[in-house]
Structure 1
Amino acid sequence: MLAIKTISHNSIIFRRSVRLMGDQFEISIVGNNPSWAEDRFDDAVAEINRIEKLLSAFGEDSCINEINRNAGIKPVKANAEIFRLIDRSLQISALTHGAFDITYYTADKDNSNFDTVQNSNTAVKAGVSNVNYKSVELNAIEQTVFLKETGMRIGFASNSKGYAADRAKYILQLQGVSSGVINAGGDLLTWGAQPDNEPWTIATADPSQEKQSFANIAISNMAVATSVNNEKYVTIIDKKLLGSFTPKKGFPVSKIKSVSIISTTAELADAMATPVLAIGINAGLYLINQLNQIGAVIIDDHDRVYTSKNININ
């Protein structure tokens, strides 16, 4: 469905809302030709669908499926795009000390270790303890990916939407779209400016967030991903993980209500939001403050707002 919104001086924002990758995407572009806008929306949707298929673990022709199928057996040659995405994901895992991790464990029911319940429990515990991002071996020369442990799998649920949004933006820019917003289920990616030449803010990019205390932050040419604490989901935090962060100053102990990460790419923002939610206010802000071109806004369960050092909220 195409929606048209006039701002000023006959400038127009064209919008299309469509369900993709199991979530609601709203694509907004600035232009003056409805037919041209429709074609650009088709280009963006086609690219997002391509990314969904590329990262799927289903289908015999799936590269991810082949990598997973050969876990503990042999390296698999990956196409360049998937190889680079895995490489970046492992770098984020190292950066967050494993709080972000594309690996997981699936018990192999055909394995002889699963003949008895006792053996099964032992094998699962051993497998889970061994499986993490450090068990993924990349060979840049051969462009191969090897999952060292049998039963290991990789998946991109945590950063696939962000990567798809980045790719859609790239395609739209190639087609001459100089300004727009991609709202991927509440995660935002913007470029250019609004039709009145004002920068995009969180509120203008996603009106549903306009009542947030930080909604006036300018995010033109940036991405914002938000992770919300779900009370039904219990996160178990490894004490060793928290021990790897050594912030000098502490904050009052409190639960995190939400984390919004602002970065130059949607892929990075998407990947970092949940790890910061998991490690807490103190360690999360300490981590973000060590990095360039990335910021964080954290709201606790008392609606107190904490920001990284490069974000100012009036």
Structure 2
Amino acid sequence: MAAASNSVRRARPLLGTFVEIEAAGSFQPDVLSAVEAAFEAVSTVHQLMSFHDPDSDVGRLNREAHVRPVPVHALTFEVLEAALEMNRRSNGIFDVAVAPGLQAAGILPKTGRDVSLTAEPGATDAIMLLEGNVVGFRDAGVRIDLGGIAKGFAVDRALSILRERGVVNAIVNAGGDLACFGEETRTVCIRHPRDPGRIVCQIQLVDAALATTARRFDPFHSTETARPAIIDPRATVAACANDGATVRAASCMIADALTKVVMIAGTGATELIEQYSASALLIGSDRGLQITPDWQHAVHLAA
């Protein structure tokens, strides 16, 4: 976005990453106010859906929902509805009840509850969505983590606030989960999941959402990448067949969730991608790259 008097760019630590918002409108004070409201929307999702906060909706559900139904915020309920629908459509590949497996792998911290309890694969069958935004768990071993979908939802919420406030061009980027609107074409660089210093390709994005899941990389601790923080819920084992997946969709929440399915299922996720009118780029562990045909015109491979 070209620098101008009515353009604003801000970043804040949220959702376990840095969230950056860039927006432009006809009157800078209004744009500033819209950006502040968008950050507040992201903060709300962070507070409601954090696995690490025992007072969040997720924390309360994991602690109490197997004993009694728990009322949650309407936003949390909305994300759970989308997650269970994705679980159904993906035949159990996307499963927010995979938290025990993530804990066992050391990806999520252990909590005060008996973490030796584990639910069977497909445990979202044990999540009950009741009237009045109330949630219950049928199985005492069920624990959920919304980390595979909530970040995209937060981006969507922020973008919705910016639209409502009269912003004409904007992009919200939450650590690689991003969405934009307006006439401007955005160029997004995709790094190689095994060599983060190398660009695999550039993607042209207009009025759409994009999410990426790949091997983990922490430059403050090591120059090496680690396996993705993805567990295949069908076998409760780490998903290692693929190194990275990028998905474009109308909603960042859907793009975020679909990256996990693509990482696990690879090309087996093609039908599901089509159901959501999405596009995908997959980098296999053999370093092979595959792109859905409808997206090849917008993906430019690096030399």
TM-score range, shorter chain: 0.7 to 0.9
Give the SS at the match of 2:295: coil
| Residue 267 (structure 1) shift | 0.7
Percent identity, please.
Answer: 22
| Residue 59 (structure 1) shift | 5.0
* Aligned-partner Cα distance in 2 for 1:59–1:110: 11
Equivalent residues in 2 for 1:115-126, closer than 5 Å? 124=117
Letter in structure 2 aligned against 1:182: V
Tell me what 1:171 maps to. 161
Q: Which runs of no fewer than 5 residues in structure 1 stay unpaired?
A: 112-119, 242-253
Mapped contact 1:135–1:149 kept (Cα < 8 A): yes
Candidates 248, 255, 263, aligned match of 1:277 = 263
| Residue 174 (structure 1) shift | 0.9
Q: Which range moved further: 73-82 or 179-188?
A: 73-82
Q: Which runs of no fewer than 5 residues in structure 2 stay unpaired?
A: 104-109, 190-195, 217-224
CA 134–162 in structure 1, closer or farther in 2 if over 3 Å, else same: same
Q: Which range moved further: 35-44 or 14-23?
A: 35-44
How does the TM-score come out when normalised to structure 2? Answer: 0.76
Letter in structure 2 aligned against 1:150: A
Mapped contact 1:202–1:210 kept (Cα < 8 A): no
* Aligned-partner Cα distance in 1 for 2:111–2:182: 49
Summarize deviations over 1:245-294 as a string: whole Å, max 9, x none.
Answer: xxxxxxxxx953321100011111111112211222x21334323x1421
1:221 has 2:207 as partner? yes
Tell me what 1:144 maps to. 134
Mapped contact 1:165–1:182 kept (Cα < 8 A): yes
Equivalent residues in 2 for 1:1-314, closer than 5 Å? 5-6=2-3, 13-31=7-25, 33-56=27-50, 58=53, 60=55, 62-103=56-97, 104-105=99-100, 124=117, 127-129=118-120, 132-139=123-130, 141-194=131-184, 199-203=185-189, 211-213=199-201, 215-217=202-204, 219-230=205-216, 232-233=226-227, 237=232, 255-280=241-266, 282-289=267-274, 291-301=275-285, 303-313=287-297
Give the SS at the match of 1:202: strand
Mapped contact 2:69–2:134 kept (Cα < 8 A): yes
* Aligned-partner Cα distance in 2 for 1:79–1:237: 28
- Superposed CA RMSD: 3.4
Give the number of the structure whose alpha-carbon radius of gyration is greater.
Answer: 1
Summarize deviations over 1:116-158 as a string: whole Å, max 9, x none.
Answer: xxxx9xx64xx3326711111122x354211111142222111
Mapped contact 2:7–2:31 kept (Cα < 8 A): no
CA 178–22 in structure 1, closer or farther in 2 if over 3 Å, else same: same
| Residue 32 (structure 1) shift | 5.2
